[in-house]
Amino acid sequence: MQYATVSRQSSTPHYRARAAAAVARSSGLSSAITITDPNNPTKTAAINGEGADKTGAAAGPNPQQWTTLDLGGMGLKNISRELFQYSFLTALYINHNNLHHLSPEISRLTGLTILDASGNKLTSVPPELGMLINLKELLLVDNGLVTLPAELGTLFQLDILALEGNPLNESLKNLLQQEGTGAVINYLRENCPVPLPPPEREWITLEDDSGASSGQDTFTVFCYNILAENYATPQMYGYTPSWALTWEYRKELILQEILAYSADIVCLQEVEFGQFEDYFKEQMKQQADYDGVFWPKSRSKTMAEKDRRAVDGCATFFKASKFTLVDKHLVEFNHIALQRPDFRKSDDIFNRVMTRDNIAVITLLEHKDTKNRIVVANTHIYWDPAYKDVKLVQVAMLLEELDKLSTQWAHLPVSGSNAPISNSSGKLPTLIAGDFNSERDSGVYEFLVKGTVAQGHDDFGDHAYGTYTSEGMSHKMTLRSSYSDGVEMPFTNFTPTFVAEIDYIFYSSNYLSVLGLLGGVEKEYMSRVVGFPNAHFPSDHVPILAEFKFRSQVVPKGATPNFGATGSNNHNNGGNRNNNHRQ
């Protein structure tokens, strides 16, 4: 009742703006009219533009200095559409007017934490309010509301839902009175009808493959972070219905999606040890004749069997009808770091790199018909944005391991052939797929596609990593992202707080060319979604898919051959089985 009382007392025009001005005057402050954001008491913001810098000078990167708008008590019957362009607003007061409806365009005000529409003549609110996932307070006192749209169930951060003075149906009214705001939001979320799924993602053709010989020299690669069961918690994904978060529901969708695209090579991240053994290995073999290689993260080695089953890792599957597994290799970044003499002198190695047990699974596959061989690296790089240096170090170590392995593997005999070696040049076509937790403007992406990163790169910060930071990093591969040349994914990871492209399939462009790509999710569908996972998308990532063709293995003029360095690595691949954060 406290919020209803306050709301009814604020029926005069610009009540909150005038109250803030009175406080400012009584405290002897300047004439700037400020209001304290109740969700961030240390931050003050001007209200209705008062107190903003009138000189026009920019105040840091965001010159917008007022974020609260009070249009209360004005007798308004309509709200101009221009208002919905004010995406910087964090508080909007449109209480005590004569509004009969709210425009669905209010969903564009995604920064709102407070919305007060009390004392109007609303008999309904638009389902699009559910897109305002930053809302902490939604005040709808003294209207004509009988019920609420189930789409408001996505307001997982809502602390206050004030509905006093509305002719609510008894079940909703009792739930709010007895169990509070959280229970109402949970009820709406769990009972929200499942919307129509989006149309199939578009296939983007980049190069005509009509000249290919029965498709023997082409193959497809699928990359997907499936969201491990251990990470799919209501605390992390409060906007997702509980039934859509369960592993029993999600695993079926994940498998269906993998099988529907029927890629020749499948690279999965965040696959739990137990889920691989009990579900994916068997289902992928039975339903589509895939063989697989899996390793969990390094921590699993120190765990009891029961706990080990919950550790996630990387799984690479390939169609047994098309490829043969020649060899496999586990890359444990923290173990490799210990083997470098220049790293042992750095505290950052022990404090930052050694504590992260990310891995990469590397396989050498041979095409059964053409005998072409390809190296496939499947990795999951550390997630934390505050550890860009660690991401760079992990990727640099991965490239070094690939360099050694390619030289070693290029001299292995071809199966069923009397030829002494498969590739006397010491170079092999290579794919590097995975969740790199890095955007295109990152040092990781720059290093992969440009082949070098200077010793003073911003992503290193003030950390020291031997020759990486004293001399810089470089590699000899000619890598490109499959999604390039103007074809970029709008995102591969989609949550309310983070939307970015962080998953990639890199390829050695002097040995492979891209024929086609799987496009993004339809924009209209995305305009109604606050985040994944949901009923249609079982992970917070979306899969990417590319079709490749083996090129004539001639190094382009002026290009640096990939894997030009020599070396060897007989590192134990850590598995006696061929099928052997979020972080």
Give me the active site residues, please: 435
Closest C-alpha among 163, 231, 337 to residue 582 = 231
Contacts of residue 184, defined as CB under 8 A and 6 or more positions apart, other chains included, come to 148, 161, 172, 175, 176
Nearest to 325 by CA among 354, 291, 348, 353: 291
Helix (H) or strand (E) holding 339: helix 333-339
Q: State whether residue 452 is helix, strand or coil.
A: strand
Structure tokens at 248: 């029993």
Gap between the Cα atoms of 431 and 248, Å rounded: 32
541 DSSP assignment: B
Cα dihedral sign, 570-571-576-578: negative
Of the chain, the end-to-end C-alpha distance in Å amounts to 44
* H helical segments located in 423-517: 443-450, 467-470
> How many whole angstroms separate alpha carbon 133 and alpha carbon 153?
10
Residue 17: CB atoms within 10 A of its CB come to 22
Is residue 548 within 8 A of residue 219, CB to CB? The reply is yes
Residue type, position 162, single letter? A
- DSSP lists the bridge partners of residue 11 as none
Q: Which of 549, 548, 543 is nearest to 201 (CA)?
A: 543
| Strand duo 160-162 + 137-139: pairing | parallel
For the record, the structure tokens of 264 come out as 């020749």
Burial (CB count within 10 angstroms: exposed 0-12, middle 13-18, buried 19+), residue 208: exposed
Using the structure block, give the residue that is written with the tokens 């690669």: 221
Burial zone of 436 (CB within 10 Å; 0-12 exposed, 13-18 middle, 19+ buried): buried
Residue with tokens 């992390």: 236
